[in-house]
Structure 1
Amino acid sequence: MYSARTPLTQTISLALAAAVLILTAACQRLPAGAPSVPESSVPKSGVPGPGLPETVVIPAGPFFAGSDSAERETGYRLDEAAYGHSVTRQNGWYDRERPRGEQTLPAFAITKTTITNQQYAAFVAETGHRAPDVTPGTWRGYGLIHPYERTRRHAWDDGSPPAGRAQHPVVLVSHADALAYAAWLSRKTGMTWRLPSELEWEKAARGADGRLFPWGDDFDQSRLNSHDQGPFDTLPVGRFPEGQSPYGLLDAAGQVFEWTSSPGNTGRYLVKGGSWDDKGCGVCRPAARHARPENLKHILIGFRLVRDL
């Protein structure tokens, strides 16, 4: 089993950690026009300052990405057992996954959970960026199975998140909205934040050994927010610590799909992770992938961010 601990985190001294906390606290809630804190003074360990998204460090090195025929067959069988039909198999959903093989990436940090409504609200309040919502006409134009009325529990009111959902993942955000938040957070902190590539997301979600799910090779519906156990809705982030990846990433299966920086076909970007709407959950495997239109604002799609180390 690949260890979630890294030499980097093991070697940070208590003295350095104390200094880091002071520096990260100082870089929060900067007033307009204030100088940003240089990245060299920000912790590389994943320890956040107040208001910063918490991150986990993904070490440099090789890992297994993608799937082979046996894993794809497992995904199809999970779906068939959950839904009682073979639609995903008939449509070849998992046949388009990256062929299983070894990849290598440099080290990076990734937010431990998806960005929450509360975190996104600070961006909306400061920049005046459009709040997460969608019109009835736009929603109908997507041709999705969910009725428009279901979007209302996720939509914001007068620039504020829905009541009681501050710690839920932000949804109804397009790919461009996610990029705008990343650019704002970069300006605020002096660090460079961005959407993860498909490979970065996959390594963070499944570790180096190519396991089928973040926690191992066997599907366990108690380890994620999926339609298998309900509640058929988003939940506050981090509710399933037993479903974490080897690096400590949370909610990488179920909860919401997540935008990546990796393009699909024209005008689309790959999303990863599965959602609260899915059963089975073949699509919740980190190797699973599909592309969505970049302008789509879906109740099933949120995002998390990475920064280079």
Structure 2
Amino acid sequence: MNINFAQSILAVCMAAAVGMGFAASAGEAKLHKYSTTIEKERPQLNEETKRLISAWRRHPTEANLAALKKQVAANYDKVVERKKAKLEELKRTAKHASKVQEMQEIVDEMLQNREKRIEQSLRRFTDPRLKPGSRDRQEEYLPVIGAARNVSIARTPVTNEEYSEFLKATGRKPPQDWRNGAMPAGKARHPVVTVSYADAAAYCQWLSDKDQSAVYRLPTAEEWEFAAGHMPKDASFNCGENDGTTPVDAYAETLAACGAIDMWGNCREWTSTPTARGKTVMAVKGGSWKSRRTECRTEQKEEGREASVKADDVGFRVIRESKGRTGRQDERR
């Protein structure tokens, strides 16, 4: 592996790593006005982590994998300690208890899911599809780094325009906010909302029926998290500032780990994962235009909706699972 290629790989890895942020756009960072828990510093992979990633990619042995995992765990624990320090600072200085609660929830989640987050980060680092430029592609479906190798995710949520084609083909009842069955004027490129879990699943089945080479479905919560990666600290997206949705490409400069757009804010997205609240309460991810910024975090847990609910801030994004090899990425390390 030459030096330039290794450096490019590492740059992509840094964007995908758990706990690592990347710039959403050039110029001054736009920090959300409703949260004081957004940190201004941008952690970077240290030289030892870079060395271990390169070592594993050159020689993917169990020993090199174990060494990389140990380093990833150490990095994660340092982030946790920094969050704990921020929590203690807020306890002393915050004017509102809600700010302390925000950070307490972040710390609790990081501690509770430590092993899972470390494993997710490791799976991203060791996925052979993680290549230079993988986040810059404009394809309709993008590989979900860390998930099964045949899994890709739509670059954007399903739009009103796309959903309209589904309705024309199937005769299914339109969303409640479509007056007289017509798409909302001027919102063709907005995400479709006020759709139930069953509506979203039916759309996926329609795509599957048209394409015999793949199965289309809703993502699991974990697949969605792999696709999104850590929410950039200075990202711009539709959250708490607009009275409704915006076009799915309105904040196209903000990229998820896989290169998808509009994964935070605008509309929550259905997943196929039930929450602890019951089998029919499905996890929704990414927050919406109604949310506080911290509620949009990729790691936000137990945000769910009853499957039958049709809310004005819940839409969906599609997974494409190509037929053929279906092995999980971590089984081929």
TM-score range, shorter chain: 0.5 to 0.7
Match of 1:109 in 2: 152
Match of 2:203 in 1: 181
TM-superposition CA deviations, 1:227-256 (whole Å, max 9, x none): 1xx223101111112211232110111111
Match of 1:194 in 2: 217
TM-superposition CA deviations, 1:129-172 (whole Å, max 9, x none): 12111xxxxxxxxxxxxxxxxxxxxx002222111111100000
Structure with a larger share of its residues in helix:
2
Pair 1:246–1:85, CA change in 2 (3 A): same
TM-superposition CA deviations, 1:111-133 (whole Å, max 9, x none): 00100011111111221112111
Q: Secondary structure at the match of 1:86?
A: helix
Measured in 2, the distance between the counterparts of 1:250 and 1:3 equals 18
Q: Secondary structure at the match of 1:101?
A: helix
Letter in 2 for 1:156: W
Q: Residue 176 of structure 1 contacts residue 294 of structure 1 at CA under 8 Å; is this kept in 2?
A: yes
Match of 2:180 in 1: 158
Measured in 2, the distance between the counterparts of 1:245 and 1:70 equals 25
Deviating more after overlay: 159-168 vs 238-247: 238-247
Asked whether 1:225 is paired with 2:245, we answer no
Q: Residue 277 of structure 1 contacts residue 300 of structure 1 at CA under 8 Å; is this kept in 2?
A: yes
Letter in 2 for 1:276: W
Alignment of 1:69-218 (within 5 A): 69=80, 86=98, 89=101, 95=108, 98-99=113-114, 100-103=117-120, 104=123, 105-107=147-149, 108-133=151-176, 155-190=177-212, 191-206=214-229, 212-213=230-231, 216=232, 218=233
Residue 278 of structure 1 deviates from its aligned partner by 1.9
Q: Residue 241 of structure 1 contacts residue 250 of structure 1 at CA under 8 Å; is this kept in 2?
A: yes
Superposition CA RMSD, Å:
3.6
TM-superposition CA deviations, 1:56-78 (whole Å, max 9, x none): xxxxxx999x998568769989x
TM-superposition CA deviations, 1:39-87 (whole Å, max 9, x none): xxxxxxxxxxxxxxxxxxxxxxx999x998568769989x999995518
Measured in 2, the distance between the counterparts of 1:82 and 1:127 equals 54
Pair 1:305–1:98, CA change in 2 (3 A): farther
Residue 3 of structure 1 deviates from its aligned partner by 5.8
Match of 1:250 in 2: 261
Asked whether 1:241 is paired with 2:258, we answer no
TM-score (structure 1 length as normaliser): 0.61
Match of 2:318 in 1: 305
Measured in 1, the distance between the counterparts of 2:181 and 2:86 equals 40
Measured in 1, the distance between the counterparts of 2:94 and 2:269 equals 23
Letter in 1 for 2:161: Q
Measured in 2, the distance between the counterparts of 1:300 and 1:75 equals 31
Match of 1:140 in 2: none
Q: Secondary structure at the match of 2:253?
A: helix
Measured in 1, the distance between the counterparts of 2:320 and 2:163 equals 17
Measured in 2, the distance between the counterparts of 1:119 and 1:72 equals 41
Match of 2:294 in 1: 282
Letter in 1 for 2:159: T
> How high is the sequence identity, in percent, across the aligned residues?
33
Residue 91 of structure 1 deviates from its aligned partner by 12
